[in-house]
C-alpha cells in the first residue's frame, strides 16, 4: 500500500473518529430528549438535504474529475479562481429560485433546505477538491468543523434553552453550514492569494463542468435515491412513529461511515494512479473482509436500544437488515464505483444505477404488498444491494472471483442476520465475531494475515 494512501486513510479515519464521538452523543440524545414529531422533523430535513448535491447539476463532480490525481500546486490558480467563482454565482441564483418556490409552496422545511443549497454545495466543492488532490488533512478539518458546531448547537437547544421544536434545530444547522462555508472561502484565499486573475463568471466553465460531471452527479444522487428510497416509502405510507424509528435505524447505520469513508474516499485517488490487476483484486478482497467485520457494530447499537432507548427498540430488525445490505454496498462504493470514476466510465455507472433504482422500487413495492411493515422496506434495500453487486461484477470481469471469494459475503450476511434476529446484543456479537474470524481465515487467509500485519504495525 502506497505511503500517500496510508496517510490519506489515517487523516480521514482520524476525522471520522472525532465525528463518531460527537455523532454518537447527538444521535442518542436527540431521540431520547425530543418528542417523536420533533425528531421526525429533523430527520425529514436531513433526508431532503441528502439531495442538495442535485442543485449544482454536476459542476462539483466535473471539477472532481478535472483535478483528480493532481496536487493543489499543479493546478493553475487562475483556472481554480474562475472555476470556484463560477460555481459561487451559479449557486446564488439557484438558491434564490428554490427559495421563491419554497415560499410559494408555504413549506417551512423546504425553506430551510433552499437556504442550505449555497453553503452546502460550496463546502462540498472544497471537500471534493481536497479529496481529488489528496489533501486529506484539509478534508478532515472540514468534516470536523461541521460536526462539532452542529453538536454544540444541538446541545444548547436541549440542555440550556430546553426547547422541543425541530425548527430551532434546522435554524442552527443552516447557520453552521454558512459559518463553515465562509471559513472555507477565507482559507482558500490563503492558497490562491489575494491577487485575482480568474473571471467572476465563465459560462464556458459552467457548461464544461456540468457536461463532464452531470452523469456522475446524477449517478451519485441516484445512489442516494436508492439508499433513501425506503425512507420515502415509510414516510409516505406509514405514521410518524414508524418514520422516526426507521430513521433512527438509518442513523445507526451511518455510524459505519466513520470507518467506511476513509476507504471509499482514498481509494479513488489510489485507483487513478494504480492499474495493476493483482493489487486492485487484493484491495477488493481486503474491502470484503473489512465490510463483513465492520457491520458487527450493529450489536453495540442494539445493546444501547435494549438498555437506553427502549421506545426505539422496534427499529432493531430494520437496523440489522440495513447493516447486512452494507456488506455489499461497502464493496460496491469502495471498489466498483471508484473504478467507474477512475476509468472515466461514469456513463456506464449511471445506466446501471438507473436499472438498480427501478429494481429497488419494484422490490420495495412487492415487499410491502407481502407484509405491510416497515421491515419490508429494509428487505427491499438488501435485495437491491445484492442486485447492484452482481451488476457491478459484469463490468469488471477482469477482477475475477474464485468460488470462496464469491461465497464469502453471502455467508456473512446469513450469519449476521441469524445472530441479529435470534440473539440479544451480547451473545449475538460474540457468535458473529467468532464466526467471522473462522470463515475469514478459511476463505480469505492472505487478506486476514495482511490485516493482522497492518494492525501490528499500527500498534507498534
Determine the pLDDT at residue 183. Answer: 86
Q: Name the band, by pLDDT with cuts 50, 70 and 90, for residue 211.
A: confident
C-alpha cell at 282: 487484493
Query: Rounded distance, CA 60 to CA 335, Å?
Result: 21
Determine the pLDDT at residue 4. Answer: 54
- For residues 450 and 286, the answer to whether their CB atoms sit within 8 Å is yes
Query: Rounded distance, CA 202 to CA 80, Å?
Result: 12
Question: Computed over its alpha carbons, how large is the radius of gyration of the chain?
Answer: 22
CA angle 145, 146, 148 (to 5 degrees): 65
Query: Rounded distance, CA 358 to CA 374, Å?
Result: 20
- For residues 65 and 212, the answer to whether their CB atoms sit within 8 Å is yes
C-alpha cell at 408: 464469502
C-alpha cell at 440: 475469514
Which pTM value belongs to this model? 0.71
pLDDT in tens, 150-167: 889 999 999 889 888 989
- For residues 123 and 59, the answer to whether their CB atoms sit within 8 Å is no
pLDDT in tens, 15-24: 666 766 677 7
Q: Name the band, by pLDDT with cuts 50, 70 and 90, for residue 390.
A: very high
Q: Name the band, by pLDDT with cuts 50, 70 and 90, for residue 204.
A: confident
Query: Rounded distance, CA 93 to CA 99, Å?
Result: 10
**33: Cβ contacts below 8 Å, ≥ 6 apart:** 158, 164
C-alpha cell at 140: 478532515
Statement: residue 193 has pLDDT above 70: no
**Dihedral angle at the C-alpha atoms of 32, 323, 433, 459, nearest 10 degrees?**
-80
Where do the H-state alpha helices sit in 75-107? 77-105
Nearest to 360 by CA among 221, 219, 228, 246: 228
Statement: residue 411 has pLDDT above 70: yes
Q: Name the band, by pLDDT with cuts 50, 70 and 90, for residue 328.
A: very high
Amino acid at each position: 500500500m502506497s505511503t500517500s494512501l496510508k496517510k490519506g486513510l489515517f487523516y480521514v479515519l482520524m476525522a471520522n473518529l472525532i465525528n463518531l464521538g460527537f455523532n454518537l452523543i447527538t444521535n442518542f440524545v436527540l431521540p431520547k430528549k425530543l418528542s417523536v414529531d420533533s425528531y421526525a422533523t429533523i430527520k425529514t430535513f436531513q433526508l431532503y438535504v441528502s439531495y442538495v448535491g442535485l442543485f449544482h447539476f454536476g459542476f462539483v463532480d466535473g471539477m472532481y474529475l478535472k483535478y483528480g490525481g493532481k496536487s493543489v500546486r499543479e493546478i493553475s490558480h487562475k483556472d481554480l479562481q474562475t472555476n470556484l467563482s463560477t460555481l459561487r454565482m451559479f449557486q446564488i441564483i439557484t438558491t434564490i429560485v428554490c427559495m421563491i418556490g419554497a415560499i410559494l409552496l408555504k413549506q417551512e422545511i423546504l425553506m430551510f433546505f433552499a437556504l442550505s443549497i449555497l453553503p452546502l454545495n460550496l463546502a462540498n466543492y472544497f471537500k471534493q477538491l481536497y479529496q481529488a488532490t489528496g489533501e486529506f488533512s484539509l478534508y478532515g478539518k472540514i468534516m470536523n468543523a461541521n460536526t462539532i458546531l452542529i453538536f454544540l448547537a444541538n446541545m444548547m437547544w436541549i440542555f440550556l434553552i430546553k426547547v422541543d421544536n425541530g425548527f430551532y434545530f434546522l435554524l442552527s444547522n443552516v447557520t453552521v453550514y454558512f459559518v463553515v462555508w465562509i471559513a472555507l472561502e477565507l482559507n482558500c484565499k490563503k492558497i490562491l492569494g489575494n491577487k485575482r486573475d480568474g473571471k467572476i463568471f465563465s459560462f464556458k466553465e459552467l457548461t464544461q463542468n456540468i457536461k463532464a460531471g452531470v452523469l456522475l452527479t446524477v449517478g451519485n444522487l441516484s445512489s442516494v435515491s436508492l439508499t433513501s428510497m425506503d425512507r420515502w416509502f415509510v414516510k409516505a405510507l406509514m405514521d410518524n412513529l414508524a418514520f422516526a424509528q426507521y430513521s433512527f435505524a438509518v442513523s445507526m447505520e451511518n455510524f459505519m461511515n466513520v470507518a467506511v469513508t476513509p476507504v471509499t474516499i482514498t481509494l479513488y485517488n489510489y485507483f487513478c494512479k494504480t492499474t495493476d490487476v493483482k493489487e486492485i483484486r487484493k484491495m477488493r478482497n481486503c474491502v470484503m473482509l473489512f465490510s463483513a467485520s465492520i457491520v458487527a457494530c450493529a450489536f453495540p447499537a442494539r445493546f444501547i436500544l435494549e438498555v437506553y432507548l427502549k421506545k426505539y427498540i422496534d427499529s432493531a430488525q430494520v437496523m440489522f437488515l440495513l447493516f447486512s445490505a452494507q456488506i455489499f454496498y461497502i464493496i460496491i462504493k469502495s471498489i466498483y464505483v471508484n473504478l467507474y470514476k477512475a476509468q472515466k466510465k461514469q456513463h456506464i455507472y449511471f445506466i446501471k444505477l438507473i436499472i438498480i433504482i427501478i429494481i429497488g422500487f419494484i422490490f420495495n413495492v412487492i415487499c410491502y404488498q407481502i407484509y405491510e411493515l416497515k421491515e419490508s422496506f429494509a428487505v427491499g434495500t438488501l435485495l437491491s444491494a445484492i442486485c447492484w453487486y452482481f451488476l457491478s461484477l459484469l463490468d469488471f470481469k477482469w477482477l475475477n472471483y474464485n468460488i470462496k471469494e464469491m461465497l464469502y459475503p453471502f455467508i456473512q450476511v446469513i450469519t449476521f442476520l441469524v445472530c441479529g434476529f435470534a440473539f440479544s446484543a451480547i451473545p449475538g456479537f460474540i457468535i458473529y465475531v467468532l464466526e467471522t474470524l473462522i470463515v475469514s481465515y478459511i476463505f480469505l487467509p492472505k487478506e486476514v494475515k495482511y490485516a493482522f500485519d497492518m494492525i501490528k504495525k499500527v500498534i507498534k
